Amino acid sequence: MKKVELRNVCKSYDGPPQVVTNVNVTINPGEFFILVGPSGCGKSTILRMIAGLESITGGQLLIGDQVANSLMPSERNLSMVFQNYALYPHLTVKDNIVFGLHVKKVPKEERKRRCEEVAAMLGLSDYLNRKPRHLSGGQRQRVALARAIVNESPVCLMDEPLSNLDAKLRAHMRAEIRQIQRKLGITMIYVTHDQMEAMTMGDRIMVLNKGEVQQVGHPLDIYNHPANPFVATFIGSPPMNVVDATVAHNQIHIEGIKPIDIMDSQLANKEIIQVGIRPEHISFASKEIEDKRRNIVEVVNVEVLGNETVIAFKLGAGEWMAKWSGQWRVQIGDRIPLEISYDAISVFDKESNELIKSPKVSDLHVFEHEVI
């Protein structure tokens, strides 16, 4: 296991503008660290700089305790799984797996032992003599993963390795990769644009946008306490509802709903803010809810997913979403009562985009239990 540290790392091509700006992060030994963000945000460029496939314009990269800026890729003692797998079509699965060991002149018996161990771990033992064209997408992905693991490098880089798989296989491979990483104890740096992968796989995630780091932290910390509206709307499905609002007379005023009473002093001296609320934190307002907290909205779309229902409704000039557990018999055009609680909202500074207020943990249904 090795740590990987980026200190003010920047990247530009032929002068300004920079495609990656002042990235500062320490990836701990044995950590599953995920870079996530929309296409073009610089996450793959960062991974390629760590791998040595892209030069670093500014800053320092440390692998372990060694400055790696000028090291060749072969000198960095890491492995990489590419998005397109990059398997050799004319070689068998076995030869693809041990190709790197052959280049390093690892003895034949050692190559055979490592190949058999990794193949058994990934369920490839029955396919070692096949060519890649005779494998499914998931099996090819396993071969690419096996080729990276067999080198026994302390750091493994993965560049969107699951993007070519169907949804069911992607979910299976997420769990498999996570289990392998824990079993081997390697430091894994994983790039994805899929926030679901980031939330379910990472020990920590780094959210990027336009080459700049937006937030680094544990997935649930980022979900519950997003640093800015971009993170709030990028992490979570459906995304957080975010809208401009004003503060007056100790109330938050949002177009289309009744004023929300402010319960603390966090919003003192603020006039224009942004308010966000997760779809699952919008409540159905029963008849017992007092009138000043009931908001009647018109439904514009309904998605019944079996175990939950996603409802889109008009709010002022925009559209919001609510997500409720179970199967709700709601039709497009229905007018339904909703409650938006002060304790459930996030508030962002309109000018700096910084988070001012997070929802109360008690409203987020965070459960703890004794580990047996």
Rounded to whole angstroms, how far apart are CA atoms 140 and 89? 11
- What are the start and end residues of each CATH 3.40.50.300 domain in the chain? 4-224
**CATH among 3.40.50.11540, 3.20.20.150, 2.40.50.140, 2.40.30.10 for 229-364:** 2.40.50.140
**Position 160 pLDDT exceeds 50:** yes
Report whether the peptide linkage leading into residue 337 is cis, meaning its omega lies within 30 degrees of zero.
Answer: no
Which CATH code fits 4-224?
A: 3.40.50.300
Average pLDDT for residues 318-327, to the nearest whole number? 92
Binning pLDDT at 50, 70 and 90, where does residue 361 land?
Answer: low
The 10s digit of each residue's pLDDT in 55-73 is: 999 999 999 989 999 999 9
User: What is the residue-averaged pLDDT of the chain?
Assistant: 90
| Three-state secondary-structure class, residue 205 | strand
Q: Structure pTM?
A: 0.88
Pairing of strands 260-261, 251-253: antiparallel
pLDDT above 90 (res 168): no
Q: What is the pLDDT of residue 372?
A: 58
Which residues have a Cβ under 8 Å from the Cβ of 97 and sit 6 or more positions away? 115, 118, 119, 124, 128, 143, 146, 147, 150
**pLDDT tens per residue, range 286-317:** 877 777 788 899 999 999 998 999 999 998 88
The angle, 0 to 180 degrees and rounded to 10, between the axes of the packed helices 137-149 and 93-103 is 20
- How high is the pLDDT of residue 363? 46
Measured CA to CA, the distance from residue 23 to residue 259 in angstroms comes to 41
Q: What is the pLDDT of residue 51?
A: 94
Domain with CATH 2.40.50.140 in the chain: 229-364
